[in-house]
Amino acid sequence: MNILFVCVENSNRSQMAEAFAKHYGNEDSYSAGSRPSGKINPKAIAAMAELGIDISNNNSNGLDDLPKITWDWAITMGCGDACPHLPALNRDDWALADPRDMEPADFNKVRDEIARRVRELLKVDE
């Protein structure tokens, strides 16, 4: 199943979602930003490292960097009008707060909610 996770900057939420999907065995997962920041937030790198998932070498990608396909799933992350309509068989919006400026404990709550939703999407047991 090919999955696209989209947020505004592609530096936090969508990066973590892509990493969790790959961690749970769905290698055909991607992430992008409608206005990519060009870097991964160090807080996201640290939060994922706590779980043994390394995203330190990831890139912050834009929508133009993606394969030109129809996605099985396009998941937006509460980015509203900033997330464009993408060709997808299924779509959902995970209205998640942007954790960019949150303290680590609150950042990790968003991370853990993303993990839960990715497991649910992929039908993976905890």
**What residues are annotated to the active site?**
7, 79, 83
Copy the structure tokens of residue 56.
């330190």
Residues 6+ apart with CB under 8 A from 52: none
Residues 6+ apart with CB under 8 A from 63: 6, 32, 33, 34, 84, 86
Alpha helix segments (H runs only) across 1-126: 13-23, 42-49, 104-122
Residues 6+ apart with CB under 8 A from 66: 4, 30, 32
Please state whether 80 falls in left (phi above 0), alpha (psi between -120 and 50) or beta.
left
